[in-house]
């Protein structure tokens, strides 16, 4: 069987690796060059996108920002999973808010801004602690502006004056004093069957995910059920097929949606070693109509992103339960170069392994790791 992925980055690469043992061939489309390539080697393949779409069994996407003409091409064949509506919803924060609001799913109080003259009214409605997000094309902290006090509004108006807010409106969200960020990642089959992984606890630095811990520590059953219910509501509303990620803010015993991602997700990389079936294999299973895999986990796992850094010792894999995944990219500031998964039998053991891991890493590129290691040790103390 054959799968075509729109996007030729690390997620397509990891789908390729997970699909191979199932006897599934995976090709990728570099959406910038419009070339069909091997996801591992990036070698150009002798086929057009049109031929590739006609030749494969299923078309999917590794990220949301796929040109709409390509999505249309695949959607018309009936082979695109998840569907075009789901991918466009993940790519547009306004569509995302509409799905959440129409299905009565809690999310941050917000307003849509398409002209600067609206800003004063937005502050009056939501308060003067806001985060403004570009409705399209923003990720990893890009395309975002923060307002901490009304006095900063004039400076923001000046910054927004250079933007085409009619073409790409802003979503103004009230800053929420949440306790932590968590995510639920699961898969939905074409028949509506759902299988969710353990809920992960996510630590961000400068707008980027740095560390995920699964299962999340001290997660009450009530919060866990709320997250699963939200996943079921969103995936059902979108008639979703494949792996879906829902990022959530937790405040005490309640949660609200921050963002959704219609694809395999960074905060699910821990499943490669911490779950019976990883998210990449699960996505391939779901979109091809195979039975969904077991999501059981009998361990605790940390995923650590390697961001803008190549200067570390690969001797880190000497730590039992430690696994390196390198993407083979050219070095750039704030670029995700790879990730490390660390598996342990308890939070105490995991915390100690993370402290050991720091011996092999330049700490300035991993600013949250020591603090998180000590916290995990305290969880089991």
Query: What tens digit of pLDDT does each residue of 219-273 get?
Result: 999 999 999 999 999 999 999 999 999 999 999 999 999 999 999 999 999 999 9
Is 38 part of a structural domain of the chain? yes
Query: Which residue, chain included where needed, has tokens 């916290």?
Result: 375
- pLDDT tens sequence for the chain (381 residues): 999 999 999 999 999 999 999 999 999 999 999 999 999 999 999 999 999 999 999 999 999 999 999 999 999 999 999 999 999 999 999 999 999 999 999 999 999 999 999 999 999 999 989 999 999 876 655 688 999 988 899 998 988 998 999 999 999 999 999 999 999 999 999 999 999 999 999 999 988 999 999 999 999 999 999 999 999 999 999 999 999 999 999 999 999 999 999 999 999 999 999 999 999 999 999 999 999 999 999 899 999 999 999 999 999 999 999 999 999 999 999 999 999 999 999 999 999 999 999 999 999 999 999 999 999 999 976
Structural domain containing residue 8? 2-80
φ/ψ (deg, to 5) at 247: -90, 135
**Domains held by the chain: number:** 3
Judge whether 97 lies within some domain: no
Domain boundary, last residue among 174, 203, 220: 174
What is the C-alpha separation between 39 and 337, in angstroms, rounded?
A: 16
Tokens linked to 73:
């091409």
Domain end (from 125, 155, 174): 174
Q: How many helices (H) and strands (E) does the chain have?
A: 12, 17
pLDDT of 380 reads 76
For the whole model, what pTM was predicted? 0.95
Q: Are 87 and 318 in contact (CB under 8 A)?
A: no
For 138-164, write each residue's pLDDT tens digit: 665 568 899 998 889 999 898 899 899
Let me know whether 335 and 354 are in one domain.
yes
Is residue 144 located within the same domain as residue 235? no
| Bridge partners (DSSP) listed for residue 185 | 245
E strand or H helix at 379, and its extent? helix 369-379
| 34 located within any domain | yes
- Residue 100 falls inside a structural domain: no
Please tell me the distance from the alpha carbon of residue 371 to that of residue 290, in angstroms, as a whole number.
41
Q: Give the C-alpha separation, 184 to 320, whole Å.
A: 27
**Do 149 and 169 reside in the same domain of the chain?**
yes
Domain end call among 59, 80, 101: 80
- Answer yes or no: do 220 and 150 share one domain: no
- Return the closest-CA partner of residue 322 out of 308, 330, 312: 312
Q: What is the CATH number of the domain that holds 168?
A: 3.30.1490.20
Rounded to whole angstroms, what are the CA distances from 56 to 18, 39, 49, 104, 289?
17, 15, 11, 37, 14
User: Are residue 168 and residue 184 in the same domain, yes or no?
Assistant: no
Residues 53 and 160 in one domain: no
Find out whether 193 and 292 touch, Cβ atoms under 8 Å.
yes
Distances 235 to 3, 59, 83, 103, 277 between C-alpha atoms, Å:
22, 18, 11, 11, 20
Mark whether 292 and 251 lie in a shared domain. yes
Same domain, 319 and 254: yes
Cα–Cα distance between 190 and 53 in angstroms, integer?
Answer: 20
Judgement on whether residues 201 and 269 belong to the same structural domain of the protein: yes
With tokens 């569907």, the residue in question is: 83
CA distance 82 to 242: 6
E runs forming strands in the chain = 2-6, 25-30, 35-37, 58-61, 110-113, 130-134, 144-147, 170-174, 180-188, 194-196, 200-205, 208-214, 242-251, 254-261, 300-307, 322-326, 336-344
pLDDT attached to residue 183: 98
294 lies in some domain: yes
75 and 166: one domain? no
Nearest to 57 by CA among 284, 251, 235, 236: 284
Smallest CA-to-CA distance from 246 within 126, 375, 86 is with: 86
Among 139, 168, 170, 145, CA closest to 63: 139
Tell me if residue 340 falls in helix, strand or coil: strand
Instruction: Please state, in angstroms and as integers, the Cα–Cα distance from residue 7 to each residue in 49, 289, 366, following that order.
Output: 12, 22, 28
Position 140 scores a pLDDT of 54
Q: Are residues 123 and 16 in the same domain?
A: no
Q: What is the pLDDT of residue 318?
A: 98
Instruction: Let me know whether 168 and 190 are in one domain.
Output: no
Closest CA to 107 of 88, 131, 137: 131
Question: Could you give the maximum distance between any two Cα atoms of the chain, in Å?
Answer: 60
Residue 99 lies in a domain: no
Tokens (6 digits) for 349:
């053991």
**Tokens 């990720």 identify what position?**
139
Backbone conformation region of residue 372, classed left if phi is above 0, alpha if psi is from -120 to 50, else beta: alpha
Q: What is the CATH number of the domain that holds 319?
A: 3.30.470.20
Contact 270, 303 (CB under 8 A): yes
Provide the CATH number for the domain around residue 13. Answer: 3.40.50.20
Answer whether 214's CB lies under 8 Å from 197's CB.
Answer: yes
Helix extents (H) in 127-266:
153-160, 221-237
Angle 68-183-181 from CA coordinates, rounded to 5°: 115
């Amino acid at each position: 069987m054959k799968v075509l992925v729109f996007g030729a980055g690390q997620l397509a690469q990891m789908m390729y690796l997970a699909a191979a043992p199932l006897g599934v061939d995976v090709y990728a489309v570099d959406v910038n060059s419009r070339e069909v390539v091997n996801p591992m080697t990036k070698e150009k393949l002798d086929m057009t996108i049109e031929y590739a779409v006609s030749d494969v069994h299923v078309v999917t996407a590794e990220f949301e920002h796929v040109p709409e003409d390509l999505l249309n091409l695949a959607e018309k064949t009936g082979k695109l999973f998840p569907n075009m509506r789901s991918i466009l919803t993940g790519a547009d924060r306004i569509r995302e808010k509409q799905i959440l609001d129409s299905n009565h799913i809690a999310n941050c109080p917000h307003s849509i801004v398409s002209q600067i003259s609206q800003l004063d009214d937005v502050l009056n409605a939501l308060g003067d602690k806001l985060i403004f997000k570009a409705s399209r094309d923003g990720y990893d902290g890009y395309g975002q502006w923060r307002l901490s006090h009304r006095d900063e509004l004039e400076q923001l108006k000046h910054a927004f004056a250079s933007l085409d807010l009619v073409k790409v409106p802003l979503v103004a969200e009230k800053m929420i004093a949440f306790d932590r960020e968590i995510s639920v990642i699961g898969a939905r089959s074409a028949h509506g069957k759902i299988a969710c992984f353990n809920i992960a606890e996510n630590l961000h630095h400068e707008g980027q995910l740095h560390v995920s811990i699964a299962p999340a520590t001290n997660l009450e059953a009530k919060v866990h059920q709320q997250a699963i219910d939200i996943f079921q509501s969103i995936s059902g509303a979108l008639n979703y097929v494949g792996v879906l990620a829902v990022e959530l803010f937790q405040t005490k015993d309640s949660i609200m949606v921050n963002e959704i991602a219609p694809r395999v997700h960074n905060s699910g990389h821990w499943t490669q070693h911490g779950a019976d079936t990883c998210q990449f294999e699960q996505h391939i299973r779901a979109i091809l109509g195979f039975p969904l895999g077991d999501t059981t986990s009998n361990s605790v796992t940390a995923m650590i992103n390697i961001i803008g850094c190549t200067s570390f010792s690969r001797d880190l894999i000497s730590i039992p339960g430690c696994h390196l995944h390198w993407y083979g990219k050219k070095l750039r500031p704030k670029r995700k170069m790879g990730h490390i998964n660390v598996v342990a039998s308890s939070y105490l053991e995991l915390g100690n392994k993370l402290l050991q891991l720091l011996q092999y890493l330049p700490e300035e590129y991993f600013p949250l790791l020591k603090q998180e290691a000590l916290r995990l040790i305290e969880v089991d103390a």
